Amino acid sequence: TGSFPEEIFGMPKLKQLNVSGNSLTGSIPDTIGNFGSGLASRQRKYLNLANNRFSGTVPPEVANITDLKELTLHNNSFKGTMPDTVCSLETGAGSKSFRLTMLTSDCKEVDCSCSAVCQCF
Q: Rounded to whole angstroms, how far apart are CA atoms 25 and 27?
A: 7
Average pLDDT of the segment spanning 20-30: 95
DSSP secondary-structure letter at 99? -
Domains of the chain in start order, with CATH, are 2-120 (3.80.10.10)
For residue 92, what pLDDT is reported? Answer: 59
Long-range contacts of 6-12 (CB under 8 A, 24+ apart): 6/31, 9/33, 9/34, 9/35, 10/34, 12/36, 12/37, 12/38, 12/39
Supply the pLDDT for residue 26: 96
How is residue 9 annotated by DSSP? G
pLDDT tens, position by position, 62-102 = 999 988 999 999 999 999 999 998 988 876 555 445 678 89
**CB-based contact 65:85 (threshold 8 Å):** no
